[in-house]
Structure 1
Protein backbone atom coordinates (compact mmCIF):
# COMPACT_ATOMS: atom_id res chain seq x y z
CA UNK A 1 0.00 0.00 0.00
CA UNK A 2 1.40 3.35 -1.03
CA UNK A 3 2.55 5.51 1.86
CA UNK A 4 2.25 2.71 4.39
CA UNK A 5 4.95 2.39 7.01
CA UNK A 6 7.12 -0.73 6.58
CA UNK A 7 6.27 -3.19 9.38
CA UNK A 8 9.10 -3.53 11.88
CA UNK A 9 9.44 -6.60 14.04
CA UNK A 10 7.83 -6.78 17.44
CA UNK A 11 11.29 -7.25 18.92
CA UNK A 12 12.48 -3.96 17.47
CA UNK A 13 9.38 -2.19 18.76
CA UNK A 14 9.89 -3.76 22.19
CA UNK A 15 13.49 -2.58 22.49
CA UNK A 16 12.63 0.87 21.15
CA UNK A 17 9.90 1.20 23.78
CA UNK A 18 12.24 -0.06 26.50
CA UNK A 19 14.85 2.52 25.53
CA UNK A 20 12.26 5.27 25.67
CA UNK A 21 11.12 4.12 29.12
CA UNK A 22 14.67 4.09 30.47
CA UNK A 23 15.19 7.63 29.23
CA UNK A 24 11.91 8.69 30.82
CA UNK A 25 12.94 7.24 34.18
CA UNK A 26 16.38 8.86 34.09
CA UNK A 27 14.92 12.24 33.12
CA UNK A 28 12.22 12.28 35.82
CA UNK A 29 13.64 14.11 38.87
CA UNK A 30 11.09 12.68 41.30
CA UNK A 31 11.91 9.11 40.28
CA UNK A 32 15.64 9.75 40.50
CA UNK A 33 15.24 11.31 43.94
CA UNK A 34 13.13 8.38 45.14
CA UNK A 35 15.73 5.93 43.84
CA UNK A 36 18.51 7.73 45.68
CA UNK A 37 16.46 7.75 48.89
CA UNK A 38 15.82 4.02 48.54
CA UNK A 39 19.51 3.25 48.00
CA UNK A 40 20.65 5.43 50.87
CA UNK A 41 18.01 3.90 53.15
CA UNK A 42 19.12 0.34 52.38
CA UNK A 43 22.76 1.19 53.04
CA UNK A 44 21.86 3.11 56.19
CA UNK A 45 19.88 0.17 57.59
CA UNK A 46 22.80 -2.13 56.84
CA UNK A 47 25.37 0.19 58.42
CA UNK A 48 23.33 1.19 61.47
CA UNK A 49 21.88 -2.20 62.35
CA UNK A 50 23.55 -5.03 64.19
CA UNK A 51 23.25 -7.44 61.27
CA UNK A 52 26.25 -6.24 59.29
CA UNK A 53 28.41 -6.69 62.39
CA UNK A 54 27.36 -10.32 62.70
CA UNK A 55 27.69 -11.52 59.11
CA UNK A 56 25.79 -11.86 55.86
CA UNK A 57 22.90 -13.95 57.19
CA UNK A 58 22.20 -11.54 60.08
CA UNK A 59 22.25 -8.71 57.54
CA UNK A 60 19.66 -10.55 55.45
CA UNK A 61 17.45 -10.89 58.52
CA UNK A 62 17.80 -7.16 59.18
CA UNK A 63 16.89 -6.24 55.60
CA UNK A 64 14.01 -8.67 54.93
CA UNK A 65 11.19 -6.57 56.47
CA UNK A 66 12.65 -3.37 55.04
CA UNK A 67 12.93 -4.78 51.50
CA UNK A 68 9.51 -6.42 51.77
CA UNK A 69 7.89 -3.06 52.56
CA UNK A 70 9.86 -0.64 50.38
CA UNK A 71 10.53 -2.57 47.17
CA UNK A 72 6.80 -2.59 46.29
CA UNK A 73 6.62 1.15 46.99
CA UNK A 74 9.53 1.77 44.63
CA UNK A 75 8.12 -0.55 41.96
CA UNK A 76 4.68 1.03 42.13
CA UNK A 77 6.17 4.53 41.97
CA UNK A 78 8.08 3.58 38.81
CA UNK A 79 5.27 1.78 37.01
CA UNK A 80 1.77 2.61 38.20
CA UNK A 81 1.29 5.51 35.74
CA UNK A 82 3.48 4.32 32.85
CA UNK A 83 0.71 3.18 30.48
CA UNK A 84 -1.88 5.60 31.85
CA UNK A 85 0.33 8.60 31.09
CA UNK A 86 0.86 7.42 27.51
CA UNK A 87 -2.90 7.01 27.10
CA UNK A 88 -3.65 10.47 28.48
CA UNK A 89 -1.00 12.15 26.32
CA UNK A 90 -2.13 10.43 23.13
CA UNK A 91 1.12 8.50 22.78
CA UNK A 92 -0.75 5.20 22.58
CA UNK A 93 -2.79 6.45 19.63
CA UNK A 94 0.41 7.37 17.82
CA UNK A 95 1.96 3.97 18.51
CA UNK A 96 -1.14 2.21 17.23
CA UNK A 97 -0.99 4.12 13.95
CA UNK A 98 2.55 2.75 13.56
CA UNK A 99 1.18 -0.77 14.05
CA UNK A 100 3.02 -1.40 17.30
CA UNK A 101 1.49 -4.48 18.92
CA UNK A 102 0.19 -4.52 22.46
CA UNK A 103 2.65 -7.28 23.39
CA UNK A 104 5.63 -5.30 22.09
CA UNK A 105 4.48 -2.12 23.81
CA UNK A 106 3.73 -3.68 27.21
CA UNK A 107 6.87 -5.80 27.00
CA UNK A 108 8.96 -2.74 26.22
CA UNK A 109 7.49 -0.70 29.06
CA UNK A 110 8.02 -3.57 31.49
CA UNK A 111 11.57 -4.19 30.28
CA UNK A 112 12.62 -0.55 30.46
CA UNK A 113 11.07 0.15 33.86
CA UNK A 114 12.26 -3.18 35.24
CA UNK A 115 15.86 -2.55 34.16
CA UNK A 116 15.83 0.67 36.14
CA UNK A 117 14.15 -1.03 39.12
CA UNK A 118 16.51 -4.02 39.14
CA UNK A 119 19.56 -1.77 38.90
CA UNK A 120 18.40 0.25 41.91
CA UNK A 121 17.42 -2.75 44.05
CA UNK A 122 20.32 -5.06 43.24
CA UNK A 123 22.90 -2.27 43.30
CA UNK A 124 21.68 -0.99 46.67
CA UNK A 125 21.81 -4.47 48.17
CA UNK A 126 25.33 -5.10 46.89
CA UNK A 127 26.52 -1.86 48.48
CA UNK A 128 24.80 -2.92 51.70
CA UNK A 129 26.63 -6.25 51.57
CA UNK A 130 29.93 -4.38 51.46
CA UNK A 131 29.29 -3.19 55.01
CA UNK A 132 29.81 -6.72 56.37
CA UNK A 133 33.58 -7.00 55.79
CA UNK A 134 33.97 -3.37 56.86
CA UNK A 135 32.00 -3.54 60.12
CA UNK A 136 31.98 -7.15 61.29
CA UNK A 137 34.68 -8.68 63.48
CA UNK A 138 37.01 -11.33 62.13
CA UNK A 139 34.75 -14.12 63.39
CA UNK A 140 30.97 -14.02 63.21
CA UNK A 141 29.29 -13.98 66.60
CA UNK A 142 25.79 -14.66 65.28
CA UNK A 143 24.45 -17.63 67.20
CA UNK A 144 26.24 -20.80 66.10
CA UNK A 145 26.57 -20.09 62.39
CA UNK A 146 29.77 -21.38 60.87
CA UNK A 147 31.76 -19.82 58.07
CA UNK A 148 30.18 -22.10 55.46
CA UNK A 149 26.62 -21.12 56.42
CA UNK A 150 27.31 -17.41 56.73
CA UNK A 151 28.87 -16.69 53.36
CA UNK A 152 28.35 -14.01 50.69
CA UNK A 153 26.46 -16.63 48.68
CA UNK A 154 23.57 -16.39 51.13
CA UNK A 155 23.33 -12.66 50.56
CA UNK A 156 23.58 -13.04 46.78
CA UNK A 157 20.65 -15.46 46.89
CA UNK A 158 18.72 -12.91 48.93
CA UNK A 159 19.52 -10.17 46.40
CA UNK A 160 18.37 -12.36 43.48
CA UNK A 161 15.11 -13.13 45.29
CA UNK A 162 14.63 -9.42 45.95
CA UNK A 163 14.98 -8.80 42.21
CA UNK A 164 12.35 -11.45 41.42
CA UNK A 165 10.10 -9.89 44.05
CA UNK A 166 10.64 -6.45 42.49
CA UNK A 167 9.74 -7.78 39.03
CA UNK A 168 6.51 -9.27 40.38
CA UNK A 169 5.41 -6.03 42.01
CA UNK A 170 6.44 -4.01 38.95
CA UNK A 171 4.27 -6.24 36.75
CA UNK A 172 1.31 -5.71 39.08
CA UNK A 173 1.85 -1.94 39.00
CA UNK A 174 2.01 -2.02 35.21
CA UNK A 175 -1.26 -3.95 35.07
CA UNK A 176 -2.85 -1.29 37.26
CA UNK A 177 -1.56 1.42 34.93
CA UNK A 178 -3.00 -0.33 31.90
CA UNK A 179 -6.35 -1.19 33.45
CA UNK A 180 -7.06 2.09 35.27
CA UNK A 181 -9.04 4.74 33.44
CA UNK A 182 -7.94 7.69 35.58
CA UNK A 183 -4.96 8.64 37.73
CA UNK A 184 -7.18 8.61 40.82
CA UNK A 185 -8.34 5.09 40.04
CA UNK A 186 -4.76 3.94 39.47
CA UNK A 187 -3.65 5.41 42.79
CA UNK A 188 -6.56 3.82 44.65
CA UNK A 189 -5.81 0.41 43.14
CA UNK A 190 -2.11 0.78 43.91
CA UNK A 191 -2.69 1.71 47.54
CA UNK A 192 -5.25 -1.06 48.00
CA UNK A 193 -2.97 -3.74 46.58
CA UNK A 194 0.02 -2.49 48.56
CA UNK A 195 -1.96 -2.80 51.79
CA UNK A 196 -3.19 -6.25 50.76
CA UNK A 197 0.34 -7.39 49.92
CA UNK A 198 2.02 -6.00 53.02
CA UNK A 199 -0.55 -6.89 55.71
CA UNK A 200 -3.65 -8.42 54.14
CA UNK A 201 -2.47 -11.96 53.43
CA UNK A 202 -0.53 -12.21 56.70
CA UNK A 203 -3.60 -11.06 58.61
CA UNK A 204 -5.72 -13.63 56.76
CA UNK A 205 -3.25 -16.39 57.66
CA UNK A 206 -3.26 -15.42 61.34
CA UNK A 207 -7.05 -15.19 61.40
CA UNK A 208 -7.36 -18.56 59.68
CA UNK A 209 -5.01 -20.24 62.16
CA UNK A 210 -6.73 -18.63 65.14
CA UNK A 211 -10.19 -19.70 64.03
CA UNK A 212 -9.07 -23.13 62.92
CA UNK A 213 -10.23 -22.51 59.36
CA UNK A 214 -6.84 -23.46 57.96
CA UNK A 215 -4.15 -25.76 59.29
CA UNK A 216 -0.51 -24.95 59.80
CA UNK A 217 0.43 -26.97 56.72
CA UNK A 218 -1.67 -24.68 54.53
CA UNK A 219 0.06 -21.47 55.65
CA UNK A 220 2.94 -21.60 53.11
CA UNK A 221 0.42 -21.93 50.28
CA UNK A 222 -1.67 -19.05 51.59
CA UNK A 223 1.44 -16.86 51.94
CA UNK A 224 2.40 -17.68 48.35
CA UNK A 225 -0.79 -15.92 47.24
CA UNK A 226 0.88 -12.53 47.74
CA UNK A 227 4.26 -11.48 46.33
CA UNK A 228 5.37 -10.37 49.81
CA UNK A 229 4.54 -13.69 51.43
CA UNK A 230 6.14 -15.66 48.60
CA UNK A 231 9.30 -13.54 48.81
CA UNK A 232 9.55 -13.99 52.59
CA UNK A 233 9.06 -17.75 52.29
CA UNK A 234 11.79 -17.99 49.68
CA UNK A 235 14.22 -15.92 51.74
CA UNK A 236 13.86 -18.20 54.77
CA UNK A 237 13.77 -21.37 52.70
CA UNK A 238 16.42 -20.65 50.08
CA UNK A 239 18.65 -17.75 51.14
CA UNK A 240 18.86 -18.21 54.92
CA UNK A 241 18.01 -21.95 54.88
CA UNK A 242 16.49 -22.08 58.34
CA UNK A 243 15.10 -25.53 57.65
CA UNK A 244 11.70 -24.48 58.95
CA UNK A 245 10.21 -23.39 55.65
CA UNK A 246 8.20 -25.67 53.37
CA UNK A 247 9.14 -26.49 49.81
CA UNK A 248 9.81 -23.25 47.93
CA UNK A 249 7.88 -24.46 44.88
CA UNK A 250 4.63 -22.79 45.91
CA UNK A 251 6.39 -19.47 46.53
CA UNK A 252 8.21 -19.64 43.18
CA UNK A 253 4.96 -20.43 41.38
CA UNK A 254 3.32 -17.55 43.24
CA UNK A 255 5.89 -14.95 42.18
CA UNK A 256 6.12 -16.19 38.58
CA UNK A 257 2.33 -16.36 38.44
CA UNK A 258 2.04 -12.73 39.51
CA UNK A 259 4.48 -11.67 36.78
CA UNK A 260 2.75 -13.65 34.04
CA UNK A 261 -0.80 -12.88 35.15
CA UNK A 262 -0.20 -9.17 35.65
CA UNK A 263 1.52 -8.78 32.27
CA UNK A 264 -1.37 -10.63 30.62
CA UNK A 265 -3.80 -8.14 32.18
CA UNK A 266 -1.64 -5.26 30.98
CA UNK A 267 -1.58 -6.61 27.42
CA UNK A 268 -5.34 -7.14 27.36
CA UNK A 269 -6.18 -3.65 28.68
CA UNK A 270 -3.38 -1.48 27.25
CA UNK A 271 -5.32 -0.32 24.19
CA UNK A 272 -8.52 0.62 26.01
CA UNK A 273 -9.64 4.17 25.16
CA UNK A 274 -9.11 7.12 27.44
CA UNK A 275 -12.09 8.07 29.58
Structure 2
Protein backbone atom coordinates (compact mmCIF):
# COMPACT_ATOMS: atom_id res chain seq x y z
CA UNK A 1 0.00 0.00 0.00
CA UNK A 2 1.38 3.39 -0.98
CA UNK A 3 1.96 6.24 1.45
CA UNK A 4 -1.02 8.32 0.33
CA UNK A 5 -3.26 5.25 0.45
CA UNK A 6 -2.35 4.65 4.10
CA UNK A 7 -3.13 8.29 4.84
CA UNK A 8 -6.57 8.01 3.25
CA UNK A 9 -7.31 4.81 5.16
CA UNK A 10 -6.77 6.73 8.40
CA UNK A 11 -8.83 9.64 7.06
CA UNK A 12 -11.70 7.32 6.16
CA UNK A 13 -11.60 5.87 9.65
CA UNK A 14 -11.84 9.37 11.16
CA UNK A 15 -14.79 10.30 8.95
CA UNK A 16 -16.65 7.16 9.93
CA UNK A 17 -15.99 7.92 13.59
CA UNK A 18 -17.45 11.41 13.24
CA UNK A 19 -20.53 10.26 11.34
CA UNK A 20 -21.32 7.62 13.97
CA UNK A 21 -21.03 10.12 16.84
CA UNK A 22 -24.48 11.54 17.58
CA UNK A 23 -23.08 14.26 19.81
CA UNK A 24 -20.95 15.59 16.96
CA UNK A 25 -23.92 15.46 14.60
CA UNK A 26 -25.87 17.55 17.14
CA UNK A 27 -23.04 20.09 17.28
CA UNK A 28 -23.00 20.23 13.47
CA UNK A 29 -26.76 20.80 13.44
CA UNK A 30 -26.42 23.62 15.97
CA UNK A 31 -23.69 25.28 13.89
CA UNK A 32 -25.84 24.93 10.77
CA UNK A 33 -28.86 26.43 12.53
CA UNK A 34 -26.87 29.36 13.89
CA UNK A 35 -25.26 30.28 10.56
CA UNK A 36 -28.39 29.80 8.48
CA UNK A 37 -30.41 31.72 11.08
CA UNK A 38 -28.02 34.65 10.81
CA UNK A 39 -28.25 34.39 7.04
CA UNK A 40 -32.03 34.52 7.31
CA UNK A 41 -31.74 37.67 9.41
CA UNK A 42 -29.95 39.28 6.44
CA UNK A 43 -32.80 38.52 4.03
CA UNK A 44 -33.80 41.62 2.12
CA UNK A 45 -31.17 43.83 3.76
CA UNK A 46 -29.55 46.52 1.56
CA UNK A 47 -26.04 45.70 0.49
CA UNK A 48 -26.69 42.12 -0.59
CA UNK A 49 -23.71 39.81 -0.26
CA UNK A 50 -21.55 42.49 1.37
CA UNK A 51 -24.08 42.89 4.18
CA UNK A 52 -24.32 39.12 4.54
CA UNK A 53 -20.54 38.86 4.74
CA UNK A 54 -20.42 41.57 7.42
CA UNK A 55 -23.18 39.87 9.40
CA UNK A 56 -21.48 36.46 9.33
CA UNK A 57 -17.85 37.52 9.71
CA UNK A 58 -17.60 37.68 13.50
CA UNK A 59 -19.97 34.75 14.20
CA UNK A 60 -17.99 32.52 11.82
CA UNK A 61 -14.69 33.66 13.36
CA UNK A 62 -16.03 32.53 16.77
CA UNK A 63 -18.09 29.47 15.84
CA UNK A 64 -15.58 27.74 13.56
CA UNK A 65 -13.06 27.20 16.42
CA UNK A 66 -15.89 25.91 18.61
CA UNK A 67 -16.87 23.45 15.89
CA UNK A 68 -13.24 22.40 15.41
CA UNK A 69 -12.92 21.90 19.16
CA UNK A 70 -15.95 19.60 19.28
CA UNK A 71 -14.78 17.57 16.28
CA UNK A 72 -11.12 17.32 17.21
CA UNK A 73 -10.35 17.50 20.92
CA UNK A 74 -10.68 13.75 21.49
CA UNK A 75 -9.21 12.63 18.16
CA UNK A 76 -5.60 11.68 18.88
CA UNK A 77 -6.13 11.63 22.66
CA UNK A 78 -9.12 9.31 22.27
CA UNK A 79 -7.09 6.88 20.15
CA UNK A 80 -4.37 6.80 22.80
CA UNK A 81 -6.83 6.32 25.67
CA UNK A 82 -8.55 3.38 23.92
CA UNK A 83 -5.23 1.76 23.00
CA UNK A 84 -5.89 2.22 19.30
CA UNK A 85 -2.63 4.08 18.75
CA UNK A 86 -0.74 0.99 19.93
CA UNK A 87 -2.65 -1.12 17.42
CA UNK A 88 -2.05 1.38 14.60
CA UNK A 89 1.68 1.34 15.33
CA UNK A 90 1.78 -2.40 14.55
CA UNK A 91 0.87 -1.55 10.95
CA UNK A 92 3.24 0.07 8.43
CA UNK A 93 1.89 3.55 9.16
CA UNK A 94 4.29 6.36 10.03
CA UNK A 95 3.56 9.15 12.49
CA UNK A 96 3.30 11.63 9.62
CA UNK A 97 0.82 9.44 7.73
CA UNK A 98 -1.28 8.94 10.85
CA UNK A 99 -1.27 12.65 11.73
CA UNK A 100 -2.10 13.73 8.20
CA UNK A 101 -4.84 11.10 7.95
CA UNK A 102 -6.44 12.25 11.21
CA UNK A 103 -6.25 15.84 10.00
CA UNK A 104 -7.77 15.06 6.59
CA UNK A 105 -10.64 13.08 8.09
CA UNK A 106 -11.53 15.59 10.80
CA UNK A 107 -10.98 18.59 8.52
CA UNK A 108 -13.25 17.17 5.81
CA UNK A 109 -16.00 16.70 8.39
CA UNK A 110 -15.61 20.27 9.67
CA UNK A 111 -15.44 21.72 6.15
CA UNK A 112 -18.57 19.84 5.10
CA UNK A 113 -20.49 21.50 7.93
CA UNK A 114 -18.97 24.95 7.38
CA UNK A 115 -19.40 25.05 3.59
CA UNK A 116 -22.92 23.57 3.66
CA UNK A 117 -24.01 26.04 6.35
CA UNK A 118 -22.57 29.06 4.53
CA UNK A 119 -23.99 27.91 1.20
CA UNK A 120 -27.50 27.56 2.58
CA UNK A 121 -27.14 30.87 4.43
CA UNK A 122 -26.21 32.54 1.14
CA UNK A 123 -29.24 31.09 -0.62
CA UNK A 124 -31.56 32.10 2.22
CA UNK A 125 -30.18 35.64 2.40
CA UNK A 126 -30.40 36.14 -1.36
CA UNK A 127 -34.15 35.50 -1.29
CA UNK A 128 -35.95 38.80 -1.70
CA UNK A 129 -32.72 40.80 -1.61
CA UNK A 130 -33.08 44.50 -2.30
CA UNK A 131 -30.95 46.56 -4.64
CA UNK A 132 -27.39 47.17 -3.43
CA UNK A 133 -26.96 50.16 -1.12
CA UNK A 134 -25.51 53.37 -2.53
CA UNK A 135 -22.12 52.83 -0.93
CA UNK A 136 -21.49 49.85 -3.15
CA UNK A 137 -19.84 49.98 -6.54
CA UNK A 138 -22.19 49.58 -9.49
CA UNK A 139 -19.70 47.99 -11.88
CA UNK A 140 -18.70 44.36 -12.11
CA UNK A 141 -16.41 44.59 -9.10
CA UNK A 142 -19.31 45.56 -6.86
CA UNK A 143 -21.73 43.47 -4.83
CA UNK A 144 -21.70 40.12 -6.63
CA UNK A 145 -21.71 36.49 -5.61
CA UNK A 146 -17.91 36.63 -5.87
CA UNK A 147 -17.82 38.67 -2.66
CA UNK A 148 -19.53 35.91 -0.69
CA UNK A 149 -17.63 33.13 -2.50
CA UNK A 150 -14.33 34.68 -1.38
CA UNK A 151 -15.64 34.88 2.17
CA UNK A 152 -16.48 31.17 2.09
CA UNK A 153 -13.03 30.37 0.65
CA UNK A 154 -11.27 32.28 3.43
CA UNK A 155 -13.51 30.58 6.01
CA UNK A 156 -12.28 27.24 4.65
CA UNK A 157 -8.64 28.30 5.08
CA UNK A 158 -9.38 29.53 8.59
CA UNK A 159 -11.10 26.27 9.50
CA UNK A 160 -8.16 24.19 8.24
CA UNK A 161 -5.71 26.14 10.40
CA UNK A 162 -7.87 25.89 13.52
CA UNK A 163 -8.55 22.16 13.07
CA UNK A 164 -4.79 21.57 12.81
CA UNK A 165 -4.19 23.47 16.06
CA UNK A 166 -6.94 21.58 17.89
CA UNK A 167 -5.51 18.24 16.77
CA UNK A 168 -2.07 19.33 17.97
CA UNK A 169 -3.52 20.15 21.39
CA UNK A 170 -5.21 16.75 21.47
CA UNK A 171 -1.96 15.00 20.54
CA UNK A 172 0.16 16.64 23.26
CA UNK A 173 -2.41 15.94 26.00
CA UNK A 174 -1.88 12.96 28.28
CA UNK A 175 -5.38 12.60 29.74
CA UNK A 176 -8.96 13.32 28.76
CA UNK A 177 -9.17 16.22 31.20
CA UNK A 178 -5.94 17.67 29.92
CA UNK A 179 -7.17 17.34 26.33
CA UNK A 180 -10.38 19.18 27.22
CA UNK A 181 -8.48 21.96 28.98
CA UNK A 182 -5.72 22.38 26.42
CA UNK A 183 -7.95 22.36 23.35
CA UNK A 184 -10.42 24.73 25.02
CA UNK A 185 -7.46 26.97 25.76
CA UNK A 186 -6.43 26.87 22.11
CA UNK A 187 -9.92 28.01 21.10
CA UNK A 188 -9.84 30.88 23.61
CA UNK A 189 -6.40 31.98 22.39
CA UNK A 190 -7.44 31.84 18.74
CA UNK A 191 -10.71 33.70 19.25
CA UNK A 192 -9.86 36.22 21.98
CA UNK A 193 -6.34 36.30 23.42
CA UNK A 194 -4.33 37.06 20.28
CA UNK A 195 -6.74 39.83 19.29
CA UNK A 196 -6.66 41.30 22.80
CA UNK A 197 -2.86 41.23 22.74
CA UNK A 198 -2.90 43.10 19.44
CA UNK A 199 -5.29 45.74 20.80
CA UNK A 200 -3.13 46.11 23.92
CA UNK A 201 0.04 46.63 21.89
CA UNK A 202 -1.74 49.18 19.72
CA UNK A 203 -3.16 51.10 22.69
CA UNK A 204 0.25 51.19 24.38
CA UNK A 205 1.85 52.66 21.26
CA UNK A 206 4.00 49.66 20.37
CA UNK A 207 2.23 49.39 17.01
CA UNK A 208 1.47 52.12 14.49
CA UNK A 209 -1.42 52.36 12.08
CA UNK A 210 0.95 51.41 9.26
CA UNK A 211 2.33 48.32 10.99
CA UNK A 212 -0.89 46.95 12.47
CA UNK A 213 -1.95 45.43 9.14
CA UNK A 214 1.11 43.16 9.16
CA UNK A 215 0.60 42.15 12.80
CA UNK A 216 -2.98 41.14 12.06
CA UNK A 217 -1.51 38.16 10.20
CA UNK A 218 -0.18 36.70 13.46
CA UNK A 219 -3.53 35.46 14.81
CA UNK A 220 -5.66 33.00 12.80
CA UNK A 221 -8.86 34.90 13.55
CA UNK A 222 -7.44 38.34 12.68
CA UNK A 223 -5.75 36.92 9.57
CA UNK A 224 -9.09 35.50 8.44
CA UNK A 225 -10.90 38.80 9.01
CA UNK A 226 -8.14 40.71 7.27
CA UNK A 227 -8.38 38.54 4.16
CA UNK A 228 -12.16 39.02 4.08
CA UNK A 229 -11.93 42.80 4.41
CA UNK A 230 -9.12 43.24 1.90
CA UNK A 231 -9.97 40.69 -0.80
CA UNK A 232 -13.75 40.25 -0.48
CA UNK A 233 -15.27 43.45 0.90
CA UNK A 234 -12.88 46.17 -0.29
CA UNK A 235 -13.30 45.41 -4.04
CA UNK A 236 -17.07 45.82 -3.65
CA UNK A 237 -16.88 49.35 -2.21
CA UNK A 238 -17.30 52.33 -4.50
CA UNK A 239 -15.06 54.41 -2.21
CA UNK A 240 -11.93 52.54 -1.10
CA UNK A 241 -11.15 52.46 2.60
CA UNK A 242 -8.60 55.14 3.58
CA UNK A 243 -6.20 52.63 5.17
CA UNK A 244 -5.28 49.01 4.61
CA UNK A 245 -7.00 46.70 7.05
CA UNK A 246 -4.59 43.82 6.47
CA UNK A 247 -1.66 42.55 4.44
CA UNK A 248 -3.31 39.76 2.39
CA UNK A 249 -0.11 37.90 1.52
CA UNK A 250 1.03 37.88 5.15
CA UNK A 251 -2.43 36.88 6.37
CA UNK A 252 -2.53 33.92 3.98
CA UNK A 253 1.00 32.96 5.01
CA UNK A 254 -0.05 33.21 8.66
CA UNK A 255 -2.91 30.77 8.21
CA UNK A 256 -0.65 28.40 6.28
CA UNK A 257 1.99 28.60 9.00
CA UNK A 258 -0.52 27.79 11.76
CA UNK A 259 -1.74 24.82 9.71
CA UNK A 260 1.82 23.54 9.25
CA UNK A 261 2.60 23.98 12.94
CA UNK A 262 -0.57 22.14 13.96
CA UNK A 263 -0.03 19.15 11.68
CA UNK A 264 3.68 19.04 12.52
CA UNK A 265 3.08 19.01 16.28
CA UNK A 266 0.40 16.33 15.85
CA UNK A 267 2.86 14.12 13.97
CA UNK A 268 5.63 14.64 16.53
CA UNK A 269 3.37 14.02 19.53
CA UNK A 270 1.34 11.13 18.09
CA UNK A 271 3.73 8.58 19.59
CA UNK A 272 7.32 8.56 20.91
CA UNK A 273 10.11 9.62 18.60
CA UNK A 274 11.87 6.74 16.86
CA UNK A 275 8.78 4.51 17.00
CA UNK A 276 7.56 4.22 13.43
Task: Give the structure-1-normalised TM-score.
Answer: 0.91
- 1:33-72 paired onto structure 2 within 5 Å: 33-49=26-42, 52=45, 54-72=47-65
Offset, 1:211 = 1.4
**Number of the residue aligned with 1:3:** none
CA contact 2:226–2:247 (8 Å) conserved in 1: no
CA contact 2:43–2:126 (8 Å) conserved in 1: no
Deviations 1:101-147 (A, max 9, x none): 1111111111111111111101111111112331312x223634426
- 1:91-102 paired onto structure 2 within 5 Å: 91-102=84-95
Where 2:70 maps in the other structure, the secondary structure is: helix
CA contact 2:103–2:164 (8 Å) conserved in 1: yes
- 1:122-141 paired onto structure 2 within 5 Å: 122-137=115-130, 139-141=131-133
**Number of the residue aligned with 1:80:** 73
CA contact 1:102–1:271 (8 Å) conserved in 2: yes
Gaps of 5+ in 2: 235-239
Q: How many residues align?
A: 265
- 1:252-263 paired onto structure 2 within 5 Å: 252-263=252-263
Offset, 1:53 = 5.0
Distance (whole Å) between structure 2 residues aligned to residue 142 and residue 183 of structure 1: 53
CA separation of 1:142/1:110 partners in 2, compared to 1, >3 Å: closer, same or farther? farther
**Number of the residue aligned with 1:230:** 223
Moved over 6 A (4+): none
CA separation of 1:155/1:144 partners in 2, compared to 1, >3 Å: closer, same or farther? closer
CA contact 1:171–1:262 (8 Å) conserved in 2: yes
**Number of the residue aligned with 1:23:** 16
Gaps of 5+ in 1: 1-7
CA separation of 1:151/1:179 partners in 2, compared to 1, >3 Å: closer, same or farther? same
CA separation of 1:91/1:167 partners in 2, compared to 1, >3 Å: closer, same or farther? same
For the aligned residue pairs, the C-alpha RMSD in angstroms reads 1.7
Task: Give the structure-2-normalised TM-score.
Answer: 0.91
Deviations 1:147-186 (A, max 9, x none): 6310001100000100000000000001011111111111
- 1:109-258 paired onto structure 2 within 5 Å: 109-137=102-130, 139-141=131-133, 143-146=135-138, 148=140, 149-241=142-234, 243=241, 244-258=244-258
CA contact 2:3–2:97 (8 Å) conserved in 1: yes
**Number of the residue aligned with 1:264:** 264
CA contact 1:55–1:142 (8 Å) conserved in 2: no
Distance (whole Å) between structure 2 residues aligned to residue 181 and residue 147 of structure 1: 56
